Structures are given as C-alpha cells and as structure tokens.
Amino acid sequence: MDYQRIPLGPRKKIALVAHDNQKPNLMEWVKFNKDLLSQHDLFATGSTGQLLKEKLGLEIKVLESGPLGGDQQIGALIAEGKIDFLIFFWDPLEPLPHDPDVKALLRLAAVWNIPVACNRATADFLISSPLMNAEYDRLVPDYRAYRERLKK
C-alpha cells in the first residue's frame, strides 16, 4: 500500500476526552502539563471541556458530551485532518451506553494514524516525546484507490 505524508507543525491539535470515573485523573494530568498543553490547540467533549476551562483556565473548543455525539464529532475532526492527537482516558471497567461511539472513535484514530493515549502512563510518554513540539510527517495509507472503488 502507498502512503501519503501529512505534515504536522510544532503546534498540535489535541483532543481531550475522559469518562466520568476518569475525569479527576485527566484533570490532574492536564494541570501537571498545563504549560505544555497551552502551546497547542485543544478540543474536548462536553463536561470534560467545561471542567478544564473553568478549573484550569485553558482555551478549549468544547464539543458535545460523548453520549450526545461528542465522540463522533472528534472522530469527524480526525477524518477531516483537524485533530492530530487524542488523549482519551476511558474507563475499561464501566460499560457505557455509547460504547459503539467510543469504538468508532478509536477505530478512526487507527485509520488515520493518530497517536492515542488511553491512560496516564501512555499520555506521559507521548507528551514528553521530542516530537510533541517538533514538525512531524504522519504517514497515512493512501485511500485514493479505496475511494475510487466506492465511486463505481
């Protein structure tokens, strides 16, 4: 398969998502990394975004809550090339009514080769990478042949 290079600048577009039981964990992580995160464009689903704005004073584009379509909004932004990075502290022990949306979001992140952190340890490793504030060419499968087949 051929690949296309998607250039990412040093300023990344980062989506922040947390299930209810993980919100305190994400809040603490964002607070610890506030200075670094403030150098990037931030997006978040509903109540997570509101909490981050109110408690930490960060500028964040707040989308709908996850169950009301926020996960799907982030997935659409990924497909449109408007999200470069996903921090999603999900609760693997708590079944949620919008689990299909969560699975779809994670699938889109894989389809478009978006770095994803689903827990604090991975988020720590990703955010401390030298690539975080550097230019980077993200390789994405060239889906032109797939799109052409759909047209027929």
Q: Is 84 a catalytic residue?
A: no
pLDDT digits (tens, 9 = 90+) for 15-62: 999 988 999 999 999 999 999 999 999 999 999 999 999 999 999 999
Dihedral angle computed from the Cα positions of residues 111, 10, 56 and 25, in that order, rounded to the nearest 10 degrees = 40
With a CB cutoff of 8 Å and minimum separation 6, the contacts of 119 are: 89
Q: Which residue has the higher pLDDT, 95 or 8?
A: 8
With a CB cutoff of 8 Å and minimum separation 6, the contacts of 136 are: 7, 8
Strand partners, 13: 41
Burial of 127 (0-12, 13-18, 19+ CB in 10 A): buried
Tell me how far apart the alpha carbons of residues 85 and 77 are, in angstroms, rounded to a whole number: 11
The SS3 call for residue 42 is strand
pLDDT digits (tens, 9 = 90+) for 67-122: 888 999 999 999 999 999 999 998 888 776 667 888 899 999 999 999 999 999 99
Tell me how far apart the alpha carbons of residues 74 and 69 are, in angstroms, rounded to a whole number: 9
Domains delineated in the chain: 9-151 (3.40.50.1380)
For residue 8, report the phi and psi dihedrals to the nearest 5 degrees: -110, 130
Contact, 26 vs 87, CB < 8 A? yes
pTM above 0.85, yes or no: yes
Contact, 122 vs 26, CB < 8 A? no
Catalytic residue chosen out of the listed positions 2, 35, 41, 71: 71
